[in-house]
Structure formats: C-alpha cells, structure tokens
Amino acid sequence: MNFRKSRIVAISSAVLAFGVAAYMQTNQAEAGSQCGKASWYKMGHTTASGEKMNPNALAGAHRTLPFGTKVRVKNLANGKEVVVRINDRGPFAHGRVIDVTQGAAQRLGMIRSGVARVKVTVVGGKGKLSGC
C-alpha cells in the first residue's frame, strides 16, 4: 500500500471512529428525557394499542415510544410525579409531548389546568427520547 492510500485509510478510520462515537453519544442523550407540555384526556374509545381506554389507569399517549414503555412524568410546576405506561398514540397538538389519562393527571395535579409543563423520562422499555 502506498503512502497516499494508507493516509486515506487512516483518515477514513478516524472519521468512522468519530462517527461511531458521535452516534453513541447521541443515542445516550436520546435515552434520557423529553420536556414539553402534557395534556390529559378522558375518552371512551379503544387505544392505538388495541386496549379499551380506561380513564383511571396510569397510562399515556406518545407519538413514537413503543407500546408498553413505562415513563416517569414529572409536573415541573409542582414536582409531582407518576409512572405511566404508553398504550396510545398522540398528542397531536403542537408543543405537547405526552397525553395522560385522567387518573395520571389527578396524581400530577393538572386536572384544573388541563395542561402542564412536564419532564418525561423512560424508566422501562426500549424507548428513546430527545433531551430537554
């Protein structure tokens, strides 16, 4: 191998190593938390996962997390937290990161306001979230 080819291989290896490190750091950050607004819903329908909607269950809707993923939702205004299981899709309103059932909203202290600023953290499952 001549000097020019060996230099290209060395540079390519360095770029590949940097790319892998950057990818790993991005994935580690994505596994963290997501901040935004949460709202709650009380509907008598079937969820996107096929379950019957139970307004008293500690469940939620997220756009991308796999069904069955458990997340901790923390109301940033009052510090109250609840762990919910993702079993539906949504929210579809701009700026919202999760919809929770009425039961979860009661524990979070957001029934009257309807919407709260929250931090969502994956605690069980393979879901990944972008950082706050």
Say yes or no: 50 and 113 in one domain.
Answer: yes
**pLDDT class of 42 with cuts at 50, 70, 90:** confident
Residues 89, 40, single domain; the answer is yes
Enter the DSSP assignment of 112: T
In a domain, 130, yes or no: no
42 shares its domain with 72? yes
Give the pLDDT score at 32: 80
As for how many domains the chain has, the answer is 2
Percentages helix, strand, coil for the chain (3-state, rounded to 5) are 25, 35, 40
pLDDT at position 15 over 80: no
Could you tell me which residues come within 8 angstroms of residue 127 by beta carbon, excluding any fewer than 6 positions away?
A: 62, 64, 65, 66, 69, 71, 86
Domain shared by 25 and 46, yes or no: no
Claim to verify: residue 19 and residue 64 sit in the same structural domain = no
State pLDDT tens for residues 55-67.
999 999 999 999 9
Q: pTM of the entire structure?
A: 0.73
Report pLDDT for 27.
Answer: 36
**pLDDT band for position 4 (50/70/90)?**
low
Tell me the C-alpha distance between 49 and 38, whole Å.
Answer: 20
Is 131 within a domain? no
- Domain carrying residue 50: 33-124
26 and 37 together in one domain: no
- Report the pLDDT averaged over residues 94-117: 96
